[in-house]
């Protein structure tokens, strides 16, 4: 599974403005829910429910919020580079400035986990995160994210 299987070019935000984790999840869930034609409130509620289980702030300024949602027919993502880092209750207590949100169909058990693993591997790479943080615009970010796994390293 490659990132471009999960992410479309129009689902990359280069300069996302938000002031809190809750606000970020509200705004991002609204954007992705609209593209699926599903209820943004339900999407936000599912993401917040997942956050109650434990923060999806995985460390080094990265968060990977995710949820399984009724009405979603395929796994899809939305990437946002924040203008200002925010507190995300991350495991390392560092603020987050890179967010890769994933939504999956309710029945996408193994595929959902594969998608999470792929995103996690990509964003665990400090050099990749540095390139994402300094990329000039959304198109440049998408180009970095959509490189095949062997080329991204």
* Residues tagged active-site: 66
What's 57's DSSP letter?
A: E
Tokens of 86: 């925010």
Q: Is 65 left (phi over 0), alpha (psi -120 to 50) or beta?
A: beta
The number of angstroms, rounded, from the C-alpha of 59 to the middle of its chain's C-alpha atoms is: 14
What's 107's DSSP letter?
A: T
β-pair type (96-105, 62-63): parallel
């Amino acid at each position: 599974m490659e990132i471009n299987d999960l992410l479309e070019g129009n689902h990359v935000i280069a300069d996302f403005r938000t002031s809190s984790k809750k606000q970020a999840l509200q705004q991002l869930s609204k954007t992705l829910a609209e593209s699926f034609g599903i209820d943004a409130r339900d999407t936000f509620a599912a993401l917040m429910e997942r956050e109650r289980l434990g923060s999806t702030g995985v460390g080094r300024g990265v968060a990977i919020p995710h949820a399984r949602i009724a009405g979603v027919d395929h796994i899809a993502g939305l990437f946002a580079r924040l203008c200002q880092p925010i507190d995300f209750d991350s495991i390392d207590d560092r603020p987050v400035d890179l967010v890769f949100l994933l939504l999956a169909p309710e029945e996408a058990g193994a595929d959902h986990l594969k998608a999470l693993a792929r995103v996690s591997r990509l964003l665990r790479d400090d050099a990749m995160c540095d390139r994402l943080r300094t990329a000039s615009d959304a198109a440049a970010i998408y180009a970095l994210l959509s490189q095949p796994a062997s080329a991204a390293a």
